Amino acid sequence: MTTTTELPFIHRFTPAPAPGHPPLLLLHGTGGNEDDLLPLGPMLSPGSALLSPRGKVLEGGMPRFFRRLAEGVFDEEDVRRRAHELADFIAEAREAYGLAAPIAVGFSNGANIAAAVLQLRPEALAGAALLRAMVPLQDPPAADLTGKPVLILSGASDPIVPAENAKRLAATLKAAGATVEHRVLPTGHGLSQTDVALAKAWIEQL
């Protein structure tokens, strides 16, 4: 495993233990860091390279990938800036580590920034598994996501993400051409074993 700050984000990188698997971009939730989702990577795709950056925004000392004004209310100017910043990092990391375009696996705030990258810089990602995602941009630019696979896993009793909001995100990405699978699970905002099993099966069929 490599830890480096030479690239624009503090991050961890784990080379692929086997060829032929898509690299995973692991994006933590609020208060997480570059180590947070590393154990999840091999559970989802044992042969994949793992790239896990730490969000640059601090909220009460907790890392995030962009600013918010309140719970569920995002600073959309910052969302746009940070999404471009993350997309630039992905491009630099791909060159540094010899990676194909990654599949983003994002949880909560990490899922939201992944959705924003899809909408603003679709070339940066090969697809995305968005766990507990919300609409990151109320008025996103027209993006061509033709054929990009997207998995959205929502919690039926999630106190943070309204059901309508997650449905709207799925519809927006689908309208842009993405191949969207949206599942609502009988859980809250936290991840469950069902999330892991569904995401693993989804990655395996890519």
Active-site annotation, residues: 108, 158, 189
Tokens of 58: 């601090």
Q: What is the DSSP string of 9-36?
A: S-EEEE--SSSSS--EEEE--TT--TTT
144, 195, 202: which is closest to 37 by C-alpha? 195
94, 127, 92, 93: which is closest to 111 by C-alpha? 127
Cα–Cα dist 151/131, whole Å: 8
Q: Radius of gyration (Cα) for the chain, nearest Å?
A: 15
Tokens of 79: 């969302």
User: ∠130-110-120 over CA atoms, to 5°?
Assistant: 80
* Cβ burial, residue 201 (10 Å; 0-12/13-18/19+): exposed
How far from the centroid of its chain's Cα atoms is residue 29's Cα? Answer: 9
